[in-house]
A and B are shown apart, each in its own frame.
Chain A
């Protein structure tokens, strides 16, 4: 049985780093339109912070913060935000993903409406990418068994 890492230095550094990584992911997300970055990159960085939790502590700690079911919900939610934002302009004589028409019911001029429309879509991308990355990582480290591996550990079964 693999023991949980019990290294005070790793844990302390991780505790210190995780909020910074998450803040940085938001920075990458918001700055996507003027610098390299955006939803995909931001989502990857956000997922890295969760993966760091499972590496420095253990997979159970990470699961307590974000359970497998919630994670799966996030995968769907992100794409839903994307597609729904795209569909909204259809109701106000716009084309699919034509956000400038959002200005018709939001207090924004068309240029800013496009700006915020893209930001919303990228938010969807960020959520989905984060959830998929975490899901991939957890699939690999638990051999696809997720929560059941934790129960086995508690009962001292080593597979």
Chain B
């Protein structure tokens, strides 16, 4: 079975998604357990693949249907996506465990099994996008992830249908643009396999068709990852969605698409093409650089805490682009490190938020006044996540940001450096405001103690382990950097 891990990590959640759906029609209570078992198994496979990549030190390639790569679909695990696979599946598992009670209350009754089937389909799409080495297969999996996301968002409170519809229109335009770009590449080369495309494109870099293809692909992915001017769908979609959906989607989806941008720009094309021949990534970096300041200001302006976090998500994804725009080794390492770290930081923030929201039934900042006496641990984990996003040293957020800053300094991108530092300041304002409201202000709301609810053990364990991860990941970032440095394309920078 060991040889089949790359396909099983995608095929198992897919098949289990429909098994969950079918058993749910007869026996609904099993849905949660099936989902957790599947997510745990995906995490196990991801760990095995990660270890295998470390031990063997080379790309693990898998040919679906036994067809050789340029003709058949190839799944490949290398140093870049082994890391993303591990983070994605682990956070998926922790989030599903955490949101059990929330799903039971929010979705409840008849739709539980459908919700869990969509959750598994979402994980299928995200893991598939990460593991695939075929640009068209990537499109299919991107759409699997997107369509399950539309469904997951639309079951939310009033207004969620509209937000999901808007997201769907944006998302379909994005996916269409991506597919158009892939079509251009296919016309030029007749191939869809990533490593084959890299080889075939090597003497085509003057072609305007190729430039148009990459432009369309970048446009499509920028919409999907909510890069600054195209982020309009995200705050509405993620803040109208059920709490259990936003805890799953917000940490994972945009970051996996950011990984796809790295995969396409630097392993399908020669790294210098999008950086120097046509400075597409630096231009994108400059736009996003303005964007992260705007997003920081928007985040401060929000009175709803989940909406504030949504703007922080957009700003955080912007940092990844800034790291790429630096155009050197350090910036790239920072960007890849930030993809992984940001998944954990956002997972902690959203899960801690969901726990408190479950108790207070309100996400408005005024309802959070002085709650740290009542819910000290929940608030502490939330603040801890916030400190990590700001980039306070012992936590992991500092290290990825540090590498991005080093990259920007080395590349002489002073404007981007200024925007990044200013945005950090704005994030600090955001989280210190929450710290002040929850911990330093005396609660004016006189909620009677009877309505007080206890955080369940599993929720507490998830929050504690995510907090521990933020510190551990910070501590091991040296090892992670030496792992990331083995990615082949970094040598070409």
Chain A positions near chain B (C-beta within 8 angstroms): 69, 72-73, 75-77, 79-80, 83-84, 86-87, 90, 94-100
CB neighbours of B25 from chain A (8 A): 69, 72-73
B251 CB → nearest A CB, Å: 27
Assuming the A-B contacts A95-B64, A97-B65, are A83 and B21 also in contact, with contact meaning beta carbons closer than 8 angstroms in the complex? Answer: no
CB neighbours of A83 from chain B (8 A): 11, 14-15, 18
CB neighbours of A80 from chain B (8 A): 15, 18-19, 22
Instruction: Find out whether the CB atom of B65 lies under 8 angstroms from the CB atom of A76.
Output: no
CB neighbours of A90 from chain B (8 A): 1, 4, 8
CB neighbours of B166 from chain A (8 A): none
Q: Which residue of A lies closest to B23 (CB)?
A: A76
CB neighbours of B21 from chain A (8 A): 72, 75-76
Assuming the A-B contacts A76-B21, A80-B19, are A95 and B65 also in contact, with contact meaning beta carbons closer than 8 angstroms in the complex? Answer: yes
13 additional contacts (CB under 8 A) given A76-B21, A94-B66, A95-B64: A69-B25, A72-B21, A73-B22, A75-B21, A77-B22, A79-B14, A83-B15, A86-B11, A95-B4, A96-B11, A96-B65, A97-B64, A98-B64
7 inter-chain pairs at a CB distance below 8 angstroms, sorted by A residue, are: A69-B25, A75-B21, A77-B22, A83-B15, A90-B4, A95-B66, A100-B66
- A83–B128 Cα gap in the complex (Å)? 15
Q: Which residue of A lies closest to B7 (CB)?
A: A96
Chain B positions near chain A (C-beta within 8 angstroms): 1, 4, 7-8, 11, 14-15, 18-19, 21-22, 25, 62-66
Assuming the A-B contacts A86-B11, A96-B7, are A79 and B65 also in contact, with contact meaning beta carbons closer than 8 angstroms in the complex? Answer: no
- A69–B62 Cα gap in the complex (Å)? 38
Q: Which residue of B lies closest to A68 (CB)?
A: B25
Instruction: Find out whether the CB atom of B18 lies under 8 angstroms from the CB atom of A79.
Output: yes
- Chain B interface SS verdict (over half): helix
Residue among A86, A95, A99 having the largest count of chain B Cβ atoms under 10 Å: A95
- Chain A interface SS verdict (over half): helix
- A62–B423 Cα gap in the complex (Å)? 59
- A72–B23 Cα gap in the complex (Å)? 11
- A83–B21 Cα gap in the complex (Å)? 15
Instruction: Find out whether the CB atom of B62 lies under 8 angstroms from the CB atom of A95.
Output: yes
- A86–B15 Cα gap in the complex (Å)? 10
Q: Which residue of A lies closest to B1 (CB)?
A: A90
B199 CB → nearest A CB, Å: 23
CB neighbours of B63 from chain A (8 A): 95
Q: Which residue of A lies closest to B15 (CB)?
A: A83
- A79–B15 Cα gap in the complex (Å)? 7
- A96–B62 Cα gap in the complex (Å)? 9
- A97–B8 Cα gap in the complex (Å)? 12
Among B1, B8, B11, B19, the residue within 8 A (CB) of A76 is B19
Q: Which residue of A lies closest to B73 (CB)?
A: A97
Q: Which residue of A lies closest to B65 (CB)?
A: A97
A44 CB → nearest B CB, Å: 19
B375 CB → nearest A CB, Å: 39
CB neighbours of A77 from chain B (8 A): 22
- A90–B66 Cα gap in the complex (Å)? 11
Q: Which residue of A lies closest to B63 (CB)?
A: A95
A128 CB → nearest B CB, Å: 9
Instruction: Find out whether the CB atom of B11 lies under 8 angstroms from the CB atom of A87.
Output: yes
- A136–B76 Cα gap in the complex (Å)? 36
A101 CB → nearest B CB, Å: 8
CB neighbours of B66 from chain A (8 A): 94-95, 98, 100
- A97–B1 Cα gap in the complex (Å)? 15
Instruction: Find out whether the CB atom of B64 lies under 8 angstroms from the CB atom of A96.
Output: yes
Q: Which residue of B lies closest to A91 (CB)?
A: B1
CB neighbours of B65 from chain A (8 A): 95-99
CB neighbours of A72 from chain B (8 A): 21, 25
CB neighbours of B14 from chain A (8 A): 79, 83
